[in-house]
Structure 1
Amino acid sequence: MPRATRMLLVVVLTVQFTIALDMSVVNVALPDIRDDLGFGADGLPWVVNAYALSFGGLLMLGGRIGDLIGRRRTLVAGLTAFGLAGLAGGLVTSPGALIAARAVQGIGAAALAPVAFALITVTFPAGPARSKALGWWGATAAAGGAFGVLIGGLLTESVGWQAVMLINVPIVAFALLATLRLPADRPEPGRAPRLDPAGALLVTAGATTLVLGVVRAERQGWGSFVTIGTLATAGVLLATFVLVELRAAEPLLRMGLLTHRPVLGANLFMMLLFSGQFAAFYFTSLYLQQVLDYGPAAAGAAFVPFSGGIVIGSVLATRMVARLGLGRLLGLGGALVAVGFGWFGFAFDVDGTFLRSILGPSLVASIGAGLCFVPLGTAATAGVPAHEAGMAGGLINSSRQIGGSIGLAALVTLAASVTGPNGGASKPELAHGYAVALDAAGGLLVVAAVVALVLVPAKVGGARAGEHSPAATSGSHRAAGQPRVCDKRRREGVNS
């Protein structure tokens, strides 16, 4: 692997780890943040929601900006915003300032996530090299989320909650220095493409309103006027976005992407997968701390096996994808995750232990999830030319974020309907509510497995899964740091 490509892979994996880390690292620090800054009951969830709103609402825009102005420049801007927001968040003294810092972090993440994904799909040639890179991408993302809980607990107990914000600064500084050493993008000759401001405004407003309605539904109630009105507004905005994009000469999201069965299936699967996985992380953390009386650090350490299982599954996926094909491997992975979540639901009780209630289901679910990332990344870019890789990256990351937000809010509501108000629920009632929610998460993954088998074929683009994609061979937009290949190598890639 050329040195420039190795450097690019280091940057991409560091970015992906940092984004995933930041989505989970603050969770176990929330009680300390509340006590130190004086958050009210209604304000504390916005430490998480501010990040989710800006991240989920701007992903499509971030991916398209990367396509238009260059991926290295977008990485530099996103990393700068993300790092400065982390520094500010560790120094704040008021609730409003922390929420603002988290919102800016979400903006930075929305620029980084789709660009990181796009760089893999346009840099690595289709086949084993791309499968291996996608495996590392998926393993890094999942490991960042799992280790975020561990690192957050350790830092909160040993240093203080401010450290969970400041931990981003040295990581981002390293990624930024490495990014600046990458070659600049080579823009396509001719007239520079335009951004599609109407589409950008509509999708950002629609996605933000959708996530806002979902994250507030837990407190407002799904049947409340506020929730229904917010979700209806989001529906109107997103429907208008679709109509505008169908007529736009240079759309933010080319709707033709979703006519490809692999792309559609990958995005539906991603939504369902993370609807369950976000909820599984949330309820497992609560079960460990509120039912089994684990401290923050011990609860975080309990997630380490999940990270290990993700790595195992991702390594296996790179070897299995060519043999099983995309759809069957996704179906197998989804089925294993469903079994793992169902096992969590069966084992969550007041007398549970780490060995009986956590270790086994963590390994089954995480190995299954690890199997999914390579075929998901391949299917999500099937038939996508290189100059639209950021568009596809924004779409698949939007599916992940919005699916996770909707699934978590819905399953929190389901658990609350079983336990009643948390303040009055006993440990057996809490355990039962969490178990019901995890069983429902398992049901979502059963649906995901069916979606994969129905919509995602074994082969894409007329070749065996993982062997060929237009995104790999199009030369019109070369990623930052993508090495040149000789004509013979390029012809071989096209005709493989």
Structure 2
Amino acid sequence: MSASPKARAGALAVLCAMSLMIVLDSTIVAVAVPDIQRDLGFSDAGVAWVVNGYLVAFAGLLLFAGRLGDLVGAWRVFLAGLGVFTVASLLCGFAPTAGTLIAGRFLQGAGGALAAAVVLGMIVRLFPGPEEQARAMGVYSFTQAGGAATGFVLGGVLTDALGWPVIFLINVPIGLAVWLAGRRLLPREAGPGVGRGLDLPGALLITAGLSSGVYAIVNTAPVAATAAVLFLAGFVLRQRLARRPLIALRVLARPWLLIANAAVVLVFATGMGFQFMNALFVQRVMGYDAFGTGLAFLPTPIVIGLVSLFVAPRLTGRFGPRPVLLGGLALLFAGVLLLHRMPAAPSYWADMFPPLIIMGLAVGVTVPSIIMLAMAGAAPADTGMVSGFSNTAQQAGGALGLSVLAIVAATRTAASEAGVPEVVALHVGYSQAFLVAAGFVLAALLIVIFALRRAPAPAVQAEPPVTAAFGNAAAPPAR
């Protein structure tokens, strides 16, 4: 995929802008949940679906969206997803009832999945060289960190000043501007068409399986877990028998893809779990309000952004992604252990600030390098599917981390409540959760040391190559 540096930079800006919207939306919503619950009359259990509805739809559609991008052109799927996300944001902002808001969140998740599933694949094709790809991944990680940093603070400010509907409505003008820019700047890729492999029964099975799996994780539901196993087994059987399968099993049979994404699951389980548990620790143990919590968190995403933008690309270009990932995981392990060792009456600057900086340094180099390894060896015709698979691993990891660490913290807190102040029991629970998160990091580190030694070369493809043209007036119009 050849184009001028300016054209590729413009396309990268569009892709990162959409990713920023997704991250920004998730953190803003997390801050506004109490106000949403009060205004729309959600129950304590029901309000969780303001977050879970988005997560279930997002994770369930990622693989389907990635394959669809391979077949019809990633730019078409990206623009379609961005359009759905923007319209759904409008629906959420004007939602008069709890049910309408949940429906809007499901629709947002579907649009987010369509757009996000093809982003990594497009970046890999835009920047095929190792050094330039590392820089592009650094910019991508910077936008993720920037969204997280901005979302915590902006969510509190907007909700307090203008009300929670604004946190959704702000997506509408941004989404429209990014859609128009994307239509002009994104590479016009021509895939082989849906007739070459869009397996609808397989798509339904994999979507149902992944959605049920995420539902089971976030709600600890054994029935949903059983259904997920059955749906996924049916999907594998369908792929073996279908004339034109949704996903070529030769790709999923590659050990590197599965092992690398197992590490992705563990890394994102740690990252999302850290974000969630540390927010609770700061509020319930240290006594901060929502706005103060956002300010307390700022050092981590700021450091992540700076490191991923300026440091990680240079390190990766010089040493390669695997050595950088090993160093990042070692730092991540140290940071989580420091959180585990915080006292019950911590000082922010003495006890909280140092591990937040270490976590920022660690995540800033870990995320770009683990994504590069997860995408390694993907042939051009498969990058959409591999990108969707990696995004699915990220979402599943986040759901796993939130669920497991929340259960660990709650169980340990309940066991420690007898005869001690509540804040002491909470500290014990959160400390145990951080210790489990350290176990996630250690498992990821062992995977990288022993199983991810040498990245594979791209597989040979029999499908026609993808062609692209940047800003070409003769390119096919968006549909």
TM-score (norm 2): 0.91
Measured after TM superposition, the shift of residue 49 of structure 1 is 0.6
**Corresponding residue to 2:371 among 367, 377, 386:** 377
Unaligned runs of 5+ in 1: 218-226, 462-468, 484-496
Q: Distance in 1 between matches of 2:351 and 2:96?
A: 39
> Do the aligned partners of residues 418 and 185 (structure 1) sit closer, same or farther apart at CA in structure 2, a change above 3 Å counting?
same
Kindly provide the amino acid, as one letter, of the partner of residue 180 in structure 1. R
Q: Distance in 1 between matches of 2:297 and 2:19?
A: 19
Kindly provide the amino acid, as one letter, of the partner of residue 336 in structure 2. F
The question of whether the paired residues in 1 share the 8 Å contact of 2:277 and 2:430 is answered with yes
Q: Distance in 1 between matches of 2:143 and 2:339?
A: 23
Q: Distance in 1 between matches of 2:417 and 2:248?
A: 48
**Corresponding residue to 1:457 among 453, 456, 466:** 453
> Do the aligned partners of residues 265 and 481 (structure 1) sit closer, same or farther apart at CA in structure 2, a change above 3 Å counting?
farther
The question of whether the paired residues in 2 share the 8 Å contact of 1:157 and 1:297 is answered with no
- Structure 2 match to 1:476: 465
Alignment of 1:360 onto 2:319: no
Q: Distance in 1 between matches of 2:249 and 2:329?
A: 27
The question of whether the paired residues in 1 share the 8 Å contact of 2:124 and 2:133 is answered with yes
- Structure 2 match to 1:15: 18
Matches for 1:344-423 after TM superposition, within 5 Å: 344-347=339-342, 349-420=343-414
Alignment of 1:264 onto 2:258: yes
Q: Distance in 1 between matches of 2:143 and 2:196?
A: 33
- Structure 1 match to 2:230: 236
Query: Which one is further off, 352-361 or 277-286?
Result: 352-361
Kindly provide the amino acid, as one letter, of the partner of residue 83 in structure 2. T
> Do the aligned partners of residues 445 and 480 (structure 1) sit closer, same or farther apart at CA in structure 2, a change above 3 Å counting?
farther
Cα displacement string for residues 275-322 of structure 1 (whole angstroms, at most 9, x for unaligned residues): 111111111111122222212111112221111221243232212224
Tell me the number of residue pairs that the alignment of Structure 1 and Structure 2 aligns.
Answer: 465
Measured after TM superposition, the shift of residue 43 of structure 1 is 0.9
Kindly provide the amino acid, as one letter, of the partner of residue 50 in structure 1. G
Q: Distance in 2 between matches of 1:411 and 1:265?
A: 23
- Structure 2 match to 1:428: 424
Cα displacement string for residues 395-453 of structure 1 (whole angstroms, at most 9, x for unaligned residues): 00000001111221111111110112999971221122112111111110111111111
Q: Distance in 1 between matches of 2:415 and 2:42?
A: 20
Measured after TM superposition, the shift of residue 482 of structure 1 is 8.9
Measured after TM superposition, the shift of residue 53 of structure 1 is 0.5
Alignment of 1:117 onto 2:120: yes
The question of whether the paired residues in 1 share the 8 Å contact of 2:93 and 2:169 is answered with yes
Kindly provide the amino acid, as one letter, of the partner of residue 452 in structure 2. V
Query: Which one is further off, 247-256 or 76-85?
Result: 247-256
- Structure 2 match to 1:102: 105
- Structure 1 match to 2:205: 202
Matches for 1:123-272 after TM superposition, within 5 Å: 123-182=126-185, 185-188=188-191, 192-217=195-220, 227-272=221-266
Q: Secondary structure at the match of 2:196?
A: coil
Alignment of 1:342 onto 2:337: yes
Q: Distance in 2 between matches of 1:435 and 1:251?
A: 46
Kindly provide the amino acid, as one letter, of the partner of residue 331 in structure 2. L
> Do the aligned partners of residues 149 and 191 (structure 1) sit closer, same or farther apart at CA in structure 2, a change above 3 Å counting?
closer
Query: Which one is further off, 2-11 or 413-422?
Result: 413-422
Q: Distance in 1 between matches of 2:417 and 2:15?
A: 43
> Do the aligned partners of residues 441 and 190 (structure 1) sit closer, same or farther apart at CA in structure 2, a change above 3 Å counting?
closer
> Do the aligned partners of residues 376 and 456 (structure 1) sit closer, same or farther apart at CA in structure 2, a change above 3 Å counting?
same
Kindly provide the amino acid, as one letter, of the partner of residue 430 in structure 1. L
The question of whether the paired residues in 2 share the 8 Å contact of 1:154 and 1:296 is answered with no
Query: Which one is further off, 119-128 or 48-57?
Result: 119-128
> Do the aligned partners of residues 423 and 439 (structure 1) sit closer, same or farther apart at CA in structure 2, a change above 3 Å counting?
closer
- Structure 1 match to 2:313: 318
Q: Distance in 2 between matches of 1:457 and 1:273?
A: 18
Measured after TM superposition, the shift of residue 2 of structure 1 is 3.1
Kindly provide the amino acid, as one letter, of the partner of residue 455 in structure 1. A
Cα displacement string for residues 171-210 of structure 1 (whole angstroms, at most 9, x for unaligned residues): 2122111112136624256995231112211110000011
- Structure 1 match to 2:442: 446
> Do the aligned partners of residues 90 and 186 (structure 1) sit closer, same or farther apart at CA in structure 2, a change above 3 Å counting?
closer
Q: Secondary structure at the match of 2:373?
A: helix
